[in-house]
Amino acid sequence: MRALCRAFDWSSTPLGPSTSWPQSLRTTTGMLLASRNPMFLWWGPELIQIYNDAYRPSFGAEGRHPRALGMPGRECWTDIWEVIGPQIEQVMTTGEATWHEDQYLPIERNGRLEDVWWTYSYSPVRDEEGQIAATLVVCQETTRRVIGQRERDQLLEERRQAEQSLRESEARLRAIYDGTYEYIGLLAPDGTLLDTNRASLEFSDIPRDEVIGRPFPDTPWFSNTPRAAEAIRDAVRRAAAGEFVRFETDIHAPSGECRTFDLSMYPVRDEKGDVVLIVPEGRDVTERHRAEVALRESEARYRALFESLDAGLCVVEMIFSERNEPVDCRFIEVNPAFMRQTGLADPSGKLRSELGRGWDEYWMQTYGNVALTGEPIRVEAPTTVNGRWYDVYAFRIGQPGDRRVAVLFNDVTAARTANAERERLLRALEVERSRLEYVFKQAPAFLAVLRGSEHVFALANDAYFRLVGKRELIGRPLLEALPELAEQGFKDLLDQVLATGTPYVGREMSVRISRTPGAEPEERFLDFVYLPLVEGDDERVGVIAHGTDVTEQVLARREVERLFDLEQHARTVVEEAYRLAEAANRAKSQFLAVMSHELRTPLNAIGGYAELLEMGIRGPITAEQREDLTRIQSSQRHLLGLINEVLNYAKLETGTVSYDICDVVVRESLVAAESLVAPQARAKGITLATSECPPDVIALADPEKLRQILVNLLSNAVKFTDSGGRVGMSCSTDDRHVRIHISDTGIGIPADKLHVIFDPFVQVRGDLARRHEGTGLGLAISRDLARAMGGDLTVESALREGSTFTLALPRATPTSA
């Protein structure tokens, strides 16, 4: 560099020819060129560059050297000026030196951008006047050291990471090792246990220290099972010789439970192939063993089920056309029921088409669909092959590609018919049920169903609610719903019916019950029956209460009974009175009979003697005497008549009259009676109309008694009719009676007297009747006679217009006529 510097044309630079350089520049340049430490100088405001030999390698092979010599710094270091420009500027303005260690300054050298690190100091160089004239760089390229350091750091980091991941992986392995429920350990080739996992220790609840370092076969794991210990010893020997050993053995746990293990011994070899470790591993396969046994048993059971199933079962493999349409199927397996139901003798392995049977398109599509989609189907449908109905359950089995379908089916033809019938009956039953419910609801009788020993209301109809008022009944026990019934004995009756099953019938039973919630209980009378409610297996589950509220009837009947009693009493009184009256009447009649008889004798004597005198047998009589005698005779006759009549009535009353009943031609009786009263009628100037009665009208009567009645009626008619009046007779008939009508145009009888004139001794008093004589016995006798002959006597009359008496008598039948 010294030579280069000397030869360089410094006059082309702002420094000017080296001969004119200030002393400070010369001194600095001399020191720089002599130094073996890389140095660099930026002089003056343009920062003209001078550097030494030691610096040169830093420019690289075809770098900036030697162009950089005498070049302004800003032009030389365009690539890193952003970094070093401000650092130089700072030194030039402040005069303070700076120190930069391992500064990264990538530069263009050797034809590329190189990563370069520098440790350098910038220090100010002062001129003769003490002004800052330059920046001197003393530097050391540290690229190699930095890179070396970085590589070391990286190596260290990689190692740390490797160690870390090793630790992690070991922890993971340890976690697996300790976390697995399998039993794992490590053995030395001589069988010494080097390590074991948590599961192994927990199996026998052994502390780690007790087993580590001991020969594996002698550890407590196998102390209860000598055979296992022996097998292990043998296995260790074989594994140590390089063999992978695997075997099953039973081991008794400390609890005594026997468990089965799948054990293995894996030999681990080193690079030379020597066995350096043995990995013993054990797996508890007890459950698997049991499951296998269970599986075998269940397989056997399912096979038995398959064989004995009543339903037909077959497994078919569906066969599809190229367009994926089901065209046929192959029977894989069928059960005996299948063969029974289809009549196909073992079709296993054969195609449906080979069996020469029809094939229902519907079922083909159905099974094809199951095979393709895997969706099971349950369907009840007929088959066109035989017209029968089948209940079919089809589902895919095996792998989808197998296209296998299991078909479980039952012939339900009979059941369907039965079902249809059942549904029809159910519908009919429903109709009946709703009708019954309607009847039940509307029934005038009350009805309730009480269930269980607490007699909980399950049902009650409207009538029942009317009886007990609209209360909450349903779901409540009897005495809770109707508390006023406590102590009235109904619960005991219900208990009894439920216990014995014997119905209880209550007649007009009195119950005190509230008719509305909270009201005072009132007395009602009920006719009811408690019937046991029987369900299922003749089990008595409750009681049906059915009956009617008969309160109104009971009360009405009680009133009737009271009245009846009263009436009975009255009747007895009346009867007694009647009996007494009867007796009195009879006594009176007897008296009258005796008396009349006694009177008749002297009266007859009077008449006889009066006649003797009149005949002049006792001597001649004067005209006046004759007149008196006539009067005596008249009175005697009247009195005698009277007495005769009284005697007649008395005879009737005492029941001593006898009747001689025979056929009587009514017309003849009428004519005879008429002739008897004709003189009186004539004398009174009354027209006596001839009787209107056909001769074939024949009555059954005593002729004498009939005559007596007719004379009496005609006499009365004449008696109570004024002159100029009219008295007539007629007759009429019906099937059983002959009626004789005696009518007059006389004074008539007042309406209020009509019913008494037939009583004895009754005479209608009044102005009109006063003039007439009589006893008041004639009508009484006549009616008694008529009735005694099986007839009757009645009257119709109007005051001042006349009367008609009608005598009814039994009519003689033509044969008896």
The site for ligand ADP (CB under 6 A) is made up of 712, 716-717, 720, 744, 746-747, 749, 757, 763-764, 769, 774-779, 803
Nearer to ligand ADP by C-beta: 408 or 650? 650
Tokens matching residue 574: 């009346």
Task: Provide, rounded to whole angstroms, the least separation between the CB of residue 718 and ligand ADP.
Answer: 8
Task: Provide, rounded to whole angstroms, the least separation between the CB of residue 799 and ligand ADP.
Answer: 9
- Can you tell me whether residue 68 is helix, strand or coil? coil
ω into 750 cis (within 30 of 0): no
Is residue 29 within 8 A of residue 37, CB to CB? The reply is: no
Cα(687)–Cα(726) distance, integer angstroms = 5
Nearer to ligand ADP by C-beta: 52 or 715? 715
Residue 538 carries which side chain, given as an amino acid letter? D
Tell me how far CA of residue 529 lies from CA of 368, 509, 543, 795, in angstroms.
Answer: 66, 11, 10, 60
Is residue 773 within 8 A of residue 638, CB to CB? The reply is: yes
Nearer to ligand ADP by C-beta: 28 or 745? 745
* Torsional sign, CA 697, 701, 706, 707: positive
Cα(362)–Cα(371) distance, integer angstroms = 14
Tokens matching residue 390: 């089948």
Cα(93)–Cα(99) distance, integer angstroms = 16
Find, among 718, 703, 714, the residue nearest to 785 by Cα. Answer: 703
Tokens matching residue 765: 């008093």
Rg of the chain (C-alpha set): 78
Is residue 769 within 8 A of residue 763, CB to CB? The reply is: yes
Nearer to ligand ADP by C-beta: 49 or 716? 716
Task: Provide, rounded to whole angstroms, the least separation between the CB of residue 564 and ligand ADP.
Answer: 39
Task: Provide, rounded to whole angstroms, the least separation between the CB of residue 776 and ligand ADP.
Answer: 5
Cα(332)–Cα(315) distance, integer angstroms = 5
Total number of residues shown for the chain: 817
Tell me how far CA of residue 105 lies from CA of 41, 82, 465, in angstroms.
Answer: 18, 10, 112
Task: Provide, rounded to whole angstroms, the least separation between the CB of residue 698 and ligand ADP.
Answer: 26
Residue with tokens 């004024």: 722
H or E segment and range at residue 9: none
Nearer to ligand ADP by C-beta: 196 or 712? 712
Nearest residue to ligand ADP, using CB?
Answer: 774
Task: Provide, rounded to whole angstroms, the least separation between the CB of residue 727 and ligand ADP.
Answer: 8
Find, among 773, 753, 775, the residue nearest to 764 by Cα. Answer: 753
Pairing assessment for the beta strands 132-141 and 404-411 based on DSSP bridges: unpaired
Give the contacts of 600 (CB within 8 A, at least 6 positions apart).
640, 643, 644, 647
Cα(224)–Cα(258) distance, integer angstroms = 10
Task: Provide, rounded to whole angstroms, the least separation between the CB of residue 720 and ligand ADP.
Answer: 3
Nearer to ligand ADP by C-beta: 313 or 670? 670
Tokens matching residue 160: 């740390």
Task: Provide, rounded to whole angstroms, the least separation between the CB of residue 680 and ligand ADP.
Answer: 13
Nearer to ligand ADP by C-beta: 235 or 747? 747
Count other C-beta atoms under 10 Å from residue 545's C-beta: 26
Nearer to ligand ADP by C-beta: 191 or 746? 746
Nearer to ligand ADP by C-beta: 674 or 744? 744
Which DSSP string corresponds to 231-258?
A: HHHHHHHHHHTT--EEEEEEEE-TTS-E
Task: Provide, rounded to whole angstroms, the least separation between the CB of residue 618 and ligand ADP.
Answer: 35
Task: Provide, rounded to whole angstroms, the least separation between the CB of residue 590 and ligand ADP.
Answer: 21
Is residue 25 within 8 A of residue 43, CB to CB? The reply is: yes
Task: Provide, rounded to whole angstroms, the least separation between the CB of residue 765 and ligand ADP.
Answer: 8
Task: Provide, rounded to whole angstroms, the least separation between the CB of residue 589 and ligand ADP.
Answer: 16
Tokens matching residue 479: 């005495």
- Helix ranges (H only) for 309-412 are 336-342, 361-373
Nearer to ligand ADP by C-beta: 415 or 657? 657
Residue 540's φ and ψ, nearest 5 degrees, are -85, 120
Nearer to ligand ADP by C-beta: 245 or 652? 652
Task: Provide, rounded to whole angstroms, the least separation between the CB of residue 686 and ligand ADP.
Answer: 11
Task: Provide, rounded to whole angstroms, the least separation between the CB of residue 652 and ligand ADP.
Answer: 13
Task: Provide, rounded to whole angstroms, the least separation between the CB of residue 773 and ligand ADP.
Answer: 7
Tokens matching residue 275: 């066995």
Residue with tokens 């009436």: 567
Task: Provide, rounded to whole angstroms, the least separation between the CB of residue 800 and ligand ADP.
Answer: 10
Tokens matching residue 729: 């007779």
Nearer to ligand ADP by C-beta: 341 or 803? 803
Nearer to ligand ADP by C-beta: 96 or 722? 722
- Can you tell me whether residue 539 is helix, strand or coil? strand
Nearer to ligand ADP by C-beta: 235 or 706? 706
Nearer to ligand ADP by C-beta: 311 or 754? 754
Cα(733)–Cα(739) distance, integer angstroms = 6
